[in-house]
């Protein structure tokens, strides 16, 4: 039985359904068949796995996070980092654009004088309260200096206290960008 | 009296008025850089070009005088193109430092560019490099790259402060603002150049990087620095306390008042707000005995004060109480205190600190009397007319007549007359915003609200009573003086309602016809700056 292209439209308009479709019984049975087929296939493959066979075939499609992860897309918004100048100091000039745009109001910057008058301004402190951040990425978009990015691919920064969720300038500067490879590929985490 | 038409609206102006002034009268805003109503016309920036019918080319509105039958357009395509071209020219050597520039958010280069800019740069050459971010005076920082050479600052120093420190040196695209050889921009009014500079070339050293301007809120106020009572705006940051380290009031700006200070204010007043958030602020009620000082609640303090007053009246009559007021108190507070004093029969009142000497004075704004409300005290008659200083009260204490003294704000411990005798008092009560020598020895200390923390009015030396409005909440447990008196007065059979701010003001105006003045009506905020900065939004 081929799937009708306009199945969704048909569901919205019961008049367009055939008699058997309107009884739902064949459709339910069709769904059960699909699920059951996967169940027995996976069961079989897992049994073979136990016996040390068929290791190249996945038992189930579920990604076994955190033992396994998939390769993240480069557009994924992950933990922030502050980018650095050649001398290792932050690129950030404490313009407060990110603090202003942040819808969660979770960026706290204190500005101070930069010794070089051609740079003029730098952050004395730069805190992001990740407990409040909604990972919208506005801060990255708005930054005129490319000083803040969300390309670390770090997602597991949970902490035991609210205070530990506040990342200060040193922690943010120490984050490194993650090279993107194998988008969508499932990898075992060692 | 020529009548002309601007953008289809007719207006009649006085002879000699410019198109700019005529447009202003109609409420039409013509963009400008070099024009400032308080300075001579320079006509150098060309931003104000407008189209005049039958004229061969565009003309500048700030200089061209209005003529009978003139028809002016300020929004046509040629005018917009002219503005766009002027902006393109100004930006050709502009560094576009907006992220680090303290002016951004209230910068007319930004604002006009948003409206008339070209957006697509055609500039391929290298920009001229100049000296950046260096102090040229005690309060002012110069960035030559950002300067658009409108010459407002130069004209200010020539015409208003008449100190001639600034000039434009070199020619062509090498022209720049420079200090006169061997001088510094440190006249008494130097801060005003920061206000009139339309861009971020002149910025404030004190305010530098304290807060982005769009986080500031503002309140209309009156400068308490001297008896001129310059109209000011208080700019305060309560949205992002971390940025300015918890300091709330961050800068003062003059507010236009044609009769008092025009567009200007002096530096002493401009930077005289530090006490509002200073560590010396009193925040708790303190009751002091010979052995120790304890922090009290407001109720305890009010009870204590009422008991002391009542007790002294019972034992020695109301003559045993003295009140030393301050010419830094508002009219309302003074009136409230006076009302209570009259009610309980205290007539031992004065406000003239014998240790106070007249300060610096000039023929422009600065007055020798550094108190904002001396005239108010005088008009309310809260002093002993037969004496020419408050020193007589020391004599009363010496003779044992005054036993309980309530001091408002003043540091009497500084006055030699009082130094000797304050120890003889049974009770010394200090009501004030900041800790001083008198607070140290007082048996009861009441923290009071500063002018930024309450509504009120000051009367300047010319007799003009002017309102100021509250910007921030009182720090800690601080209370306005009239509110303190109200709490005490209820124990003496008075009604609390009699001490409400608006009630005090209306009673004051009724009882003393002197105070029935136009200027006491709620202030209308007429901002000097074109750019409205963020109000509560962020
Ligand atoms: S990602 Fe969004 S919520 Fe998080 S810090 Fe940036 S702007 Fe704020
Ligand atoms: S927007 Fe960029 S440069 Fe500006 S404060 Fe944020 S991180 Fe720093
Ligand atoms: S003067 Fe204005 S345009 Fe120039 S850098 Fe400062 S804010 Fe930007
Ligand atoms: S420093 Fe400012 S006020 Fe002075 S000429 Fe330059 S832009 Fe104009
Ligand atoms: S404002 Fe008219 S030329 Fe500058």
Question: pLDDT tens digits, residue range B9-54?
Answer: 999 999 999 999 999 999 999 999 999 999 999 999 999 999 999 9
Cβ distance of B100 and A93 shorter than 8 Å: yes
State pLDDT tens for residues B344-389. 999 999 999 999 989 999 999 999 999 999 999 999 999 999 998 9
A150 in a domain, yes or no? yes
Of residues A98 and A57, more confidence is placed in A98
Residue indicated by tokens 């004395």: A124
> Smallest CA–CA separation between A93 and chain B, in Å?
6
Adjacent-strand bridge partners of B406: B323, B429
- Quote the CA–CA distance of A71 and B455 in Å, as a whole number: 62
Q: Which of B112, B147, B167 to mutate to test the pocket of ligand 4 (most atoms within 8 A of CB)?
A: B147
* Pairing verdict, β B444-447 and B427-432: parallel
Q: How many domains does chain A have?
A: 2
- pLDDT confidence tier of residue A113, bands split at 50, 70 and 90: very high
Q: Is it the case that residue B530 has pLDDT exceeding 80?
A: no
pLDDT for res A51: 92
Backbone angles phi, psi at B54, to 5 degrees: 75, 0
Backbone angles phi, psi at B233, to 5 degrees: -110, 135
Residue with tokens 């923390």: B453
A98 touches chain B (CB under 8 A): no
Instruction: Confirm or reject: Cβ of A94 under 6 Å from ligand 2.
Output: yes
Per-residue pLDDT, averaged over A145-155, amounts to 94
Give tens-digit pLDDT for B260-278: 999 999 999 999 999 999 9
Q: Position of tokens 């960008």?
A: A177
Cβ neighbours of residue B435 closer than 8 Å, sequence gap 6 or more: B280, B281, B282
User: By CA distance, what is A102's nearest residue in B?
Assistant: B538
Same domain, A80 and A32: no
Considering the domain architecture, whether residues A115 and A159 belong to the same structural domain is answered as yes
Model confidence at B435: pLDDT above 80: yes
Nearest atom, ligand 1, residue A140 CA: 6
User: How far, in Å, from the CA of A123 to the mean position of ligand 5?
Assistant: 38
Both tokens assigned to A42? 């996976």
Q: Within a domain: residue A137?
A: yes
Asked if A45 and A115 sit in the same domain, the reply is: no
Minimum-distance ligand to the CA of B91?
3
In a domain, A127, yes or no: yes
CA dihedral of B416, B417, B422, B425, whole degrees rounded to 10: 170
B126 CA distance to ligand 2 centroid (A)? 26
**B538 vs A: CB within 8 A:** yes
**pLDDT (mean) for B78-93:** 95
Q: Check if A138 has its Cβ closer than 6 Å to any atom of ligand 1.
A: yes
Work out the average pLDDT over B457-468: 93
**Residue A181 covered by a domain:** no
pLDDT-based confidence at residue A10 (cuts at 50, 70, 90)? low
| Same domain membership, residue A163 and residue A80 | yes
Cα–Cα dist B445/B293, whole Å: 10
Quote the minimal CA–CA distance from A150 to chain B in Å.
Answer: 21
Chain B (213-242) residues lying within 8 Å, Cβ to Cβ, of chain A? 214, 240, 242
- What's residue B260's pLDDT? 94
pLDDT in tens, B88-116: 999 999 998 999 999 999 999 999 999 99
Residues of chain B contacting A144 with CB distance shorter than 8 Å: 98-99
Report pLDDT for B535: 37
Confidence (pLDDT) at B537: 36
**Residue B516 scores a pLDDT above 70:** yes
Say what the ipTM of the complex is.
0.87
Q: Is the pLDDT of residue B528 over 50?
A: no
Whether residue B532 is predicted with pLDDT greater than 80 in this model: the reply is: no
Nearest atom in ligand 3 to B199's CA? 1
> What's the pLDDT band for A24 if we cut at 50, 70, 90?
confident
Say whether pLDDT at A84 is over 50: yes
pLDDT of residue B531: 40
pTM: 0.89
Q: Does B182 touch chain A (CB under 8 A)?
A: no
Q: Which region among B69-78, B184-193, B282-291, B522-531 has the lowest average model confidence (pLDDT)?
A: B522-531
Q: What is the distance of C-alpha A73 from the center of its chain?
A: 8
Q: Are residues A82 and A170 in the same domain?
A: yes
Burial bucket for residue B318 (CB in 10 Å: 0-12, 13-18, 19+): middle
- Reply yes or no on whether the pLDDT at B525 is more than 60: no
pLDDT for position A4: 52
How close does chain A come to B371, measured CA to CA in Å? 35
Instruction: Please give the pLDDT value at position A6.
Output: 62
Interchain proximity B243–A110, CB inside 8 Å: yes
Q: Is the pLDDT of residue B451 over 60?
A: yes
Residue A182 in domain: no
- B213 Cα: distance to centroid of ligand 1 (angstroms): 21
CATH code for the domain of A167:
3.30.70.3270
Q: Which of B11, B9, B12, B10 is nearest to B1 (CA)?
A: B12
Same domain, A19 and A78: no
Question: CA nearest A112 in B: which residue?
Answer: B209
Label residue A17 by pLDDT band (50, 70, 90).
confident
B291-336 confidence digits (pLDDT tens)? 899 999 999 999 999 999 999 999 999 999 999 999 999 999 999 9
Residue A28 lies in a domain: yes
Same domain, A31 and A81: no
Rg of chain B, C-alpha, whole Å: 27
Taking 60 as the threshold, does the pLDDT of residue B538 lie above it? no
Within a domain: A36? yes
Distance between CA atoms of B429 and B441, rounded to whole angstroms? 9
Residue B197 Cβ inside 6 Å of ligand 4? The answer reads yes
Among the bound ligands, name the one nearest to the CA of residue A135. 1
Q: Are strands B444-447 and B285-288 parallel, antiparallel or unpaired?
A: antiparallel
Kindly state whether B212 is in contact with chain A, defined as any CB-CB distance less than 8 angstroms.
Answer: yes
Query: What's residue B162's pLDDT?
Result: 95
Q: Looking at the structure, do residues A107 and A157 belong to the same domain, yes or no?
A: yes
A35, A102: one domain: no
Same domain? A79 vs A147: yes
The mean pLDDT of B234-240, rounded to a whole number, is: 93
pLDDT over 90, % of chain A: 66
Model pLDDT, residue B534: 40
Judged by its nearest atom, the ligand closest to the C-alpha of residue B149 is 4
For residue A21, being part of any structural domain is answered with yes
Tell me which chain A residues have a C-beta less than 8 angstroms from the C-beta of B242.
108, 110
Give yes or no for B246 touching A (CB within 8 A).
Answer: no
Nearest neighbour of A96 by CB, restricted to B131, B212, B245: B212
Residues paired with B88 in a beta bridge? none
Instruction: Return the sign of the alpha-carbon dihedral for residues B496, B520, B253, B367.
Output: negative
If pLDDT is split at 50, 70 and 90, which confidence band does B60 have?
A: very high
Q: For chain A, first and last CA: distance in Å?
A: 45
The phi-psi region of residue B281 (left if phi > 0; otherwise alpha if psi is between -120 and 50; otherwise beta) is: beta
Kindly report, residue by residue over B176-217, the tens digit of the pLDDT.
Answer: 999 999 999 999 999 999 999 999 999 999 999 999 999 999
pLDDT value at position A98?
A: 97
Tell whether A169 and A75 lie within a shared domain: yes
Range of the domain at A78: 71-174
Rounded (10°) angle between helices B331-344 and B481-490: 20
Q: Is A146 on the interface with B (CB under 8 A)?
A: no
| Alpha carbon of A45 to ligand 1 centroid (Å) | 44
The SS3 of residue B284 is coil
> Are A97 and A149 contained in the same domain?
yes
Distance from CA of A9 to the nearest CA of B (A): 45
Distance B90 CA to ligand 3 centre (A): 11
Sorted by sequence, the CB contacts under 8 Å of residue A22 that are 6+ apart come out as A14
Nearest ligand 5 atom to the CA of B30 is 1
């Amino acid at each position: 039985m081929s799937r009708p292209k306009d199945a969704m439209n048909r569901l919205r308009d019961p008049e367009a359904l055939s008699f058997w479709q309107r009884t739902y019984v064949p459709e339910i049975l069709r769904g059960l068949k699909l699920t059951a087929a996967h169940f027995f296939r996976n069961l079989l493959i897992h049994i073979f796995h136990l016996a040390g066979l068929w290791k190249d075939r996945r038992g189930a499609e579920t990604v076994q996070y955190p033992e396994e992860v998939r390769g993240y897309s480069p557009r994924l918004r992950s933990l922030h980092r502050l980018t650095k100048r050649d001398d290792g100091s932050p690129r950030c000039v404490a313009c407060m654009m990110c603090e202003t745009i942040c819808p969660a109001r979770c960026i706290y910057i204190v500005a101070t004088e930069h010794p070089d008058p051609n740079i003029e301004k730098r952050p004395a402190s730069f805190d992001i309260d990740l407990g409040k951040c909604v990972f919208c990425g506005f801060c990255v978009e708005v930054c005129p200096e490319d000083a803040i990015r969300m390309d670390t691919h770090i997602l597991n920064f949970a902490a035991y206290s609210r205070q530990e969720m506040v990342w200060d300038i040193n922690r943010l500067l120490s984050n490194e960008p993650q090279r993107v490879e194998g988008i969508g590929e499932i990898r075992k985490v060692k | 009296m020529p009548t002309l038409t601007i953008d289809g609206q007719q207006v009649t102006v006085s002879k000699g008025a410019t198109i700019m002034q005529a447009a202003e009268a109609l409420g039409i805003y013509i963009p400008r850089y070099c024009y400032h109503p308080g300075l001579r016309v320079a006509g150098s920036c060309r931003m104000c070009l407008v189209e005049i019918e039958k004229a061969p080319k565009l003309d500048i509105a700030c200089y061209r005088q209005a003529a009978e039958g003139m028809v002016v357009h300020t929004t046509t395509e040629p005018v917009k193109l002219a503005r766009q071209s002027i902006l393109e020219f100004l930006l050709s050597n502009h560094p576009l430092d907006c992220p680090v520039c303290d002016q951004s958010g209230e910068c007319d280069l930004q604002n006009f560019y948003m409206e008339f800019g070209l957006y697509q740069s055609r500039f391929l050459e290298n920009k001229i490099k100049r000296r950046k971010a260096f102090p040229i005076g005690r309060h002012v920082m110069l960035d030559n790259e950002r300067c658009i050479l409108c010459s407002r600052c130069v004209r200010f120093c020539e015409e208003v402060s008449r100190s001639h420190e600034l000039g434009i040196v070199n020619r062509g695209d090498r022209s720049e603002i420079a200090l006169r050889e061997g001088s510094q921009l440190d006249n008494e009014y130097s801060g005003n150049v920061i206000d009139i500079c339309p861009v971020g070339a002149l910025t404030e050293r004190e305010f530098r990087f304290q807060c982005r301007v769009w986080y500031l809120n503002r309140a209309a106020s009156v400068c308490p620095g001297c008896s001129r009572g310059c109209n000011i705006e208080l700019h305060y940051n309560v949205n992002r306390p971390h940025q300015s380290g918890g300091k709330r009031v961050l800068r003062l700006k003059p507010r236009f008042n044609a009769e008092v200070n025009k567009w200007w204010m002096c530096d002493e007043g401009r930077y005289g707000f530090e006490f509002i958030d200073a560590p010396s602020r009193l925040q708790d009620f303190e009751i002091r005995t010979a052995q120790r000082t304890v922090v009290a609640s407001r109720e305890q303090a009010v009870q204590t004060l009422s008991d002391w007053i009542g007790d002294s009246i019972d034992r020695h009559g109301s003559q045993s109480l003295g009140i030393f007021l301050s010419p830094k108190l508002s009219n309302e507070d003074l009136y409230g205190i006076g009302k209570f004093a009259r009610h309980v029969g205290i007539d031992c009142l004065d406000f003239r600190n014998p240790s106070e000497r007249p300060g610096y004075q000039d023929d422009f704004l600065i007055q020798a009397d550094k108190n904002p409300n001396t005239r108010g005290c005088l008009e309310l008659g809260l002093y002993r007319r037969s004496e020419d200083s408050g020193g007589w009260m020391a004599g009363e204490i010496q003779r044992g007549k005054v036993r309980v003294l309530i001091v408002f704000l003043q540091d009497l411990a500084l006055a030699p007359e009082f130094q000797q005798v304050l120890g003889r008092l049974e009770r010394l009560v200090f009501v004030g915003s900041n800790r001083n020598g008198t607070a140290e020895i007082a048996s009861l200390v009441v923290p009071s609200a500063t002018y930024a923390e309450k509504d009120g009015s000051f009367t300047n030396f010319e007799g003009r009573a002017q309102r100021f409005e509250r910007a921030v909440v009182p720090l800690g447990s601080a209370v306005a003086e009239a509110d303190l008196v109200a709490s005490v007065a209820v124990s003496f059979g008075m009604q609390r309602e009699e001490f409400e701010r608006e009630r005090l003001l209306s009673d004051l105006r009724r009882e003393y016809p002197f105070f029935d003045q136009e200027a006491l009506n709620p202030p209308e905020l007429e901002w000097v700056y074109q750019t409205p900065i963020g109000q509560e939004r962020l």
